[in-house]
């Protein structure tokens, strides 16, 4: 037998050069240097909580649909000239403009961004086009099992919280008028509380100067809107959503979790890895590599500004829906009841630490990380702190996190599938309630 | 960038880049969907799964655990003309990654139990990606049988359940012996590495992989279409109609100069709101909700061999008229061929393509993967750094000629009839 080579010495997590400035209008700019390729990544995050769902989505889709001087096509062509592209999207926490381009075009990209932030016109024709496209897109999403399962799950766990519904209905979209988009823009698209992240082959201080020169005139004002914390996840019967003829069942399991600054965070992350957070986890090895019930099961701790939760997801063959749920409860129960093995914990720990390095190794990865952290008031210097906590988490702490957060008794679950075929097998294991 | 060939025929490319303390390792075998035998549709992909099920010195599950337990991630994927295996890790795990790849190059553990397990897993993969969703396999599995006539080019690369279930351990052993030869593989390592030290490690771990030559690779050439082909099918889960068309393009490798303009043309037509077809079909006529254009059914212009094509695909609004969309595409292609491009139109498209190409190479793993296929198919891994320049040298006249060649009588089209929400 040949022996597995040892790992070389671990290299310390090294943070890239960065600079940060909050402009007089309230915009925070963070510039990070990674010169590997002559590009820049751009992420603008604007707080957007408690906005009207259909209007927020359509605003994101029409933000680049013209100003008094420029048409949709003009804006896109001007961005292209410097190798650039920008897109906007909205979720219950924020509006995000994300894109990239040649770093030599940074100033021009920011100018065009500034023009839409100050002067997006929401022209009636363009709004009508995008309204139809958004409505069509929602109709397609509603035919996808993964989307339908997600819709049912967030409704189940968030109840009356604004997070409970994140996709507007088609007729709500059709009712949106351009004047409402202009009003929403005027009310909420302001620099106060917003963060612009720039990552690339740049000198951080100079990039800040450029951003200040170009976006310093973005009008201030706006108001801070906060979300209430998410409600505790209520355990109870499985919610069964019928999808007649479905050849697979979409299994979704939610459990409570904690945010990145909570003392249990690192231990819970490790417990999640042990359960289903990476390929070499108990759940994946069990229901995929041993039993062949499914292709890509995975679990993740989702962090949103108003709260965090654990979600496990698997698409399983209809005929093994019951057995797949049984194994899921079994693996959760095992983590909640018995301490993991030290070797198993070390493997998960190495994975967590290594993938931190990988996540920082590209411009796009760094930009998304820095922007996401900024939404929670954190900076990249959180990374070494987090790495130290991952490195220091003990077996007892991970076992305690498993018992506290991953106990099957606390599960809120949704199964989307062919109800006629799966209701019986599911009911044999636990109480089931039709959606 | 350094190239070597080991005594057993394994080609090696090393590309140091110290910008982050991580490495990417890729092993690419010159076998893909087009090489699988009749009656064994989906076998190349199924075999890819079997390469993760243990090897000479490694139990089942060990590969995954060793990569992830070293802080890395892994995967593999099966393409028309190649199959890749890769991992990206912190740089201190380089030797371990080489060990893992060498071990399965010497031989995977092919057992009945692992085969049955992975047939089940692959069937779930096909259900999640094709059977249990709208537009499953559109257009990558639906267009080839319209575009091509021979089995290698036209068949379903995911495979039929019957064929997958008929696969045997003996089939797998034969497939490995024939195609997973050291002489049929390329190893690339990119990232934070020392050249001399890495080459020494490569020798140590791969040097004793038994030498087997590359099998002869047959030509998969087919004549171009001489008359338009058009088919449609009803997708019971799809709420809206969709359409995809393809035209054959010149040989991406043997006729590189003639091929390149089509790669750029696809972007002129569909990259962003200022592109020809988005402006016309989406923004002006509103006859489609989305439109995309790319080379080859898997959309990898630098990793495909002949025969292949340029694809356009569009999703239509409810009750949309596919004929009208196709007529408008013809009109726009004709306008481009006749009137040429607007001032700056080509240059801005090329600038955006340069961004995409550079961005593709930021991650060590992506560099390793692209270099491996360039080495395998062309013997020129350094082309990786040249692509932005080559794309930038395509001229307006070449774009016009390419557009002029995309005529209806050379076109293969497949239409999705919406059967959902009816």
Domain positions in chain A: 18-215, 238-434
Using an 8 Å CB-CB cutoff, list chain B residues near A280: 61, 64-65, 68-69
Q: Does B238 contact A at CB distance below 8 Å? A: yes
Does residue B291 surpass a pLDDT of 60?
yes
Task: Give the tens place of pLDDT for each residue, B89-148.
Answer: 999 999 999 999 999 999 999 999 999 999 999 999 999 999 999 999 999 999 999 999
Q: Which CATH architecture has domain A238-434?
A: 2-Layer Sandwich (3.30)
The verdict on a CB contact (< 8 Å) between A1 and B317 is no
User: What's the sign of the alpha-carbon dihedral A21, A23, A26, A28?
Assistant: negative
Q: How far apart are CA A262 and CA A257, in angstroms?
A: 10
Q: In degrees to the nearest 10, what's the CA dihedral of B47, B52, B56, B58?
A: -160
Superfamily name with CATH number, domain A18-215? Metalloenzyme, LuxS/M16 peptidase-like (3.30.830.10)
What percent of chain B has pLDDT above 90?
99
The verdict on a CB contact (< 8 Å) between A358 and B351 is no
CATH fold of the domain at B229-418: Cytochrome Bc1 Complex; Chain A, domain 1 (3.30.830)
Q: Give pLDDT, residue B421.
A: 58
Using an 8 Å CB-CB cutoff, list chain B residues near A82: 351
Using an 8 Å CB-CB cutoff, list chain A residues near B73: 355, 358
Using an 8 Å CB-CB cutoff, list chain A residues near B349: 80
Q: CA-CA distances (angstroms) from residue A290 to B61, B66, B123?
A: 10, 18, 15
DSSP A237-276: SEEEEE-TT-SEEEEEEEEE---TTSTTHHHHHHHHIIII
CATH fold of the domain at B2-206: Cytochrome Bc1 Complex; Chain A, domain 1 (3.30.830)
Q: Give pLDDT, residue A196.
A: 98
CB count within 10 Å of CB A12 equals 8
Mutation site, B52, B289, B347, B353, interface A, largest A CB count within 10 A: B289
Using an 8 Å CB-CB cutoff, list chain A residues near B282: 129, 133
Closest in B20, B57, B65 to A2, CB measured: B57
What percent of chain B has pLDDT above 70?
100
Q: Give pLDDT, residue B420.
A: 74
Task: Give the tens place of pLDDT for each residue, B309-352.
Answer: 999 999 999 999 999 999 999 999 999 999 999 999 999 999 99
Q: Give pLDDT, residue B422.
A: 46
CB count within 10 Å of CB B76 equals 17
Strand (E) or helix (H) holding B185:
strand B185-191
Q: Does B342 contact A at CB distance below 8 Å? A: no
Note whether A64 and A72 are within 8 A (CB). Answer: yes
The verdict on a CB contact (< 8 Å) between A100 and B355 is yes
Give the SS3 label for residue A394: coil
Q: How far apart are CA A340 and CA A398, in angstroms?
A: 8
| Shortest CA distance from A127: residue in chain B | B283
Q: Give pLDDT, residue B334.
A: 98
Query: Pairing relation of β-strands B11-16 and B2-5?
Result: antiparallel
- Same CATH fold, B229-418 and B2-206? yes
The verdict on a CB contact (< 8 Å) between A358 and B73 is yes
Which residues lie across from A433 on neighbouring strands?
A239
The verdict on a CB contact (< 8 Å) between B120 and A293 is yes
Note whether A338 and A345 are within 8 A (CB). Answer: no
Using an 8 Å CB-CB cutoff, list chain A residues near B115: none
Q: Tokens 């289903």 sit at which residue?
A: A276
Q: What is the mean predicted confidence (pLDDT) over B162-168? A: 97
The interface predicted TM-score (ipTM) is 0.96
Closest by CA position to B421, among listed B241, B237, B291: B237
| Shortest CA distance from B101: residue in chain A | A4
Peptide bond into A229 cis (omega under 30): no
Q: What is the mean predicted confidence (pLDDT) over B367-384? A: 98
| Shortest CA distance from A317: residue in chain B | B124
Query: Pairing relation of β-strands B309-315 and B411-418?
Result: unpaired
Q: What residue spans define the domains of chain B?
A: 2-206, 229-418
Give the SS3 label for residue A281: coil
Closest in B21, B127, B355 to A248, CB measured: B127
The verdict on a CB contact (< 8 Å) between A347 and B68 is yes
Question: What residues of chain A score a pLDDT lower than 70?
Answer: none
């Amino acid at each position: 037998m040949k022996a597995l080579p040892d790992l070389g010495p671990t290299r310390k997590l090294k943070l890239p050069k960065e600079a940060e400035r909050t402009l007089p209008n309230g915009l925070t700019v963070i510039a990070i240097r990674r010169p590997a390729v002559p590009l820049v990544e751009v992420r603008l995050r604007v707080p957007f909580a408690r906005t009207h769902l259909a209007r927020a989505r359509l605003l994101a889709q029409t933000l680049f649909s013209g100003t008094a001087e420029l048409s949709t096509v003009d804006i896109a062509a001007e961005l292209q000239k410097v190798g650039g592209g920008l897109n906007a999207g909205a979720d219950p926490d924020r509006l995000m403009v994300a894109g990239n381009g040649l770093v030599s075009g940074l100033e021009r990209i920011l100018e065009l961004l500034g023009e839409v932030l100050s002067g997006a016109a929401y022209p009636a024709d363009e709004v009508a086009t995008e309204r139809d496209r958004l409505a069509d897109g929602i109709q397609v999403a509603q035919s996808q099992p993964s989307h339908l399962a997600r819709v049912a799950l967030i409704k189940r766990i968030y109840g009356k919280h604004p997070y409970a519904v994140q996709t507007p209905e088609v007729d709500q979209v059709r009712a949106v008028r351009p004047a409402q988009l202009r009003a929403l823009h005027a009310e909420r698209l302001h620099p106060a509380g917003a963060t612009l992240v720039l990552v690339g082959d740049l000198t951080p201080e100079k990039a800040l100067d450029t951003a200040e020169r170009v976006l310093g005139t973005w009008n201030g004002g706006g108001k801070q809107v906060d979300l209430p914390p998410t409600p505790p996840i209520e355990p109870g019967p499985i919610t069964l959503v019928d999808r007649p003829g479905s050849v697979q069942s979409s299994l979704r399991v939610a459990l409570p979790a904690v945010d990145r600054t909570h003392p249990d965070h690192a231990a819970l992350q490790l417990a999640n890895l042990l359960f289903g957070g990476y390929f070499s986890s108990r759940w994946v090895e069990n229901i995929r590599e041993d039993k062949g019930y499914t292709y890509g099961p995975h679990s993740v701790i989702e962090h949103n500004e108003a709260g965090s939760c654990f979600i496990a997801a698997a698409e399983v063959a209809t005929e093994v829906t019951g057995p797949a749920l049984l194994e899921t409860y079994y693996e959760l129960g095992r983590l909640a009841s018995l301490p993991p093995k030290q070797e198993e914990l070390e493997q998960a720990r190495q994975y967590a630490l290594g993938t931190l390095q990988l996540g920082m190794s590209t411009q796009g990865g760094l930009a998304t990380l820095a922007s996401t952290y900024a939404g929670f008031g954190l900076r990249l210097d959180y990374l070494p702190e987090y790495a130290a906590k991952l490195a220091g988490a003990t077996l007892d702490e991970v076992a305690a996190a498993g018992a506290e957060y991953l106990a099957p008794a606390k599960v809120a679950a949704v199964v989307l599938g062919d109800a006629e075929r799966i209701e019986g097998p599911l009911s044999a294991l636990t109480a089931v309630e039709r959606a | 960038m350094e190239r070597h060939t080991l005594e057993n025929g394994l080609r090696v490319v090393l590309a140091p880049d110290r910008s982050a303390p991580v490495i990417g390792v890729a092993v690419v075998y010159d076998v893909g969907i087009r090489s699988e035998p009749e009656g064994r549709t989906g076998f190349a992909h199924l075999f890819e799964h079997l390469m993760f099920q243990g090897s000479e010195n490694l139990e089942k599950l060990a590969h995954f655990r060793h990569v992830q337990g070293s802080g890395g991630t892994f995967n593999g994927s099966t393409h028309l003309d190649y199959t890749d295996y890769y991992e990206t890790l912190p740089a201190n795990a380089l030797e371990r990654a080489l060990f893992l790849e060498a071990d399965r190059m010497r031989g995977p553990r092919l057992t009945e139990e692992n085969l049955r397990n992975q047939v089940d897993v692959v069937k779930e993969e096909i259900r999640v990606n094709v059977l249990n969703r709208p537009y499953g396999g559109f257009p990558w599995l639906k267009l080839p049988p319209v575009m091509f006539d021979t089995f290698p080019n036209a068949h379903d690369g995911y495979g039929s359940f019957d064929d997958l279930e008929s696969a045997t351990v003996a089939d797998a052993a034969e497939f490995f012996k024939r195609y997973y030869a050291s002489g049929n593989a390329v190893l690339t390592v990119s990232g934070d590495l020392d050249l001399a030290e890495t080459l020494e490690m490569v020798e140590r771990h791969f040097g004793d992989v038994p030498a087997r030559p590359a099998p002869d690779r047959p030509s998969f050439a087919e004549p171009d279409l001489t008359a338009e082909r058009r088919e449609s099918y009803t997708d019971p889960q799809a709420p809206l109609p969709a359409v995809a068309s393809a035209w054959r393009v010149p040989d991406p490798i043997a006729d590189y100069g003639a091929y390149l303009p089509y790669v750029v043309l696809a972007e002129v037509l569909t990259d962003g709101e200022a592109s020809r077809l988005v402006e016309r079909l989406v923004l002006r006529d509103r006859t489609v909700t989305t439109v995309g254009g790319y080379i080859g059914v898997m959309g990898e212009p630098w990793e495909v061999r002949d025969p292949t094509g340029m694809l356009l695909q569009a999703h239509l609004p409810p009750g949309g008229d596919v004929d009208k969309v196709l007529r408008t595409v013809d009109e726009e292609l004709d306008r481009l061929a006749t009137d040429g491009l607007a001032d700056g139109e080509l240059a801005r498209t090329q600038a955006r393509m340069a961004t995409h190409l550079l961005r593709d190479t930021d991650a060590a793993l992506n560099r390793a993967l692209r270099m491996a296929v360039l080495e395998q198919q062309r013997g020129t891994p350094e082309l990786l750094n040249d692509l932005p320049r080559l794309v930038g040298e395509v001229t307006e006249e070449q774009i016009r000629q390419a557009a002029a060649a995309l005529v209806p009588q050379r076109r293969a089209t497949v239409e999705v009839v919406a059967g959902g929400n009816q």
